[in-house]
Amino acid sequence: MKETHSITVMEKLLPWEDFSYKKDLLRKYADHIGRCDTEFFSLVNKIFIDEGEKGEIVDEMILKTKQLEVWNTNLLLDVNYKISQVVNRFDDQVDEMKQQRITITYENIFAI
């Protein structure tokens, strides 16, 4: 009489790898964007404020630029906060992909 049995296990095929170094790399790029923003807003201030430009259009451009500066600053703060979360999630996803579900099916043959 034959009996069929199966066993399923999760097998880790590759070792865990640390991707935390990517946080520094991503923060470096975010910092570079922040420096570019700072340079841009300094240039705008130099052109419109330091040179004493006046008028409704100039006032509106200065207001919109200040709003954009605040928005960009908040966005970069949020990006820097989320970098850790994203890299940690990436670590977990990669680790899951390094595991494989294995099912072994065998027949137990015994004589009567």
Q: pLDDT value at position 34?
A: 95
Q: Within the chain, how many helices (H) and strands (E) appear?
A: 2, 2
Q: Return all residues near 47 (Cβ < 8 A) that are at least 6 apart.
A: 53
Q: pLDDT value at position 49?
A: 77
Average pLDDT over residues 26-31: 95
The encoded tokens of residue 67 equal: 């709003």
Long-range contact set of residues 40-47: C-beta below 8 Å, sequence gap at least 24? 41/65, 41/69
> pLDDT-based confidence at 112, cuts 50/70/90?
low
Coil vs helix vs strand at 102: strand
- Rank 3-7, 59-63, 74-78 by mean pLDDT and report only the highest: 74-78
More confident residue, 55 or 69: 69
Angle between helices 21-45 and 56-97 (to 10 degrees): 170
Query: What is the percent of the chain with per-residue pLDDT over 90, rounded to a whole number?
Result: 57
pTM score > 0.85 for this model? no
Coil vs helix vs strand at 45: helix
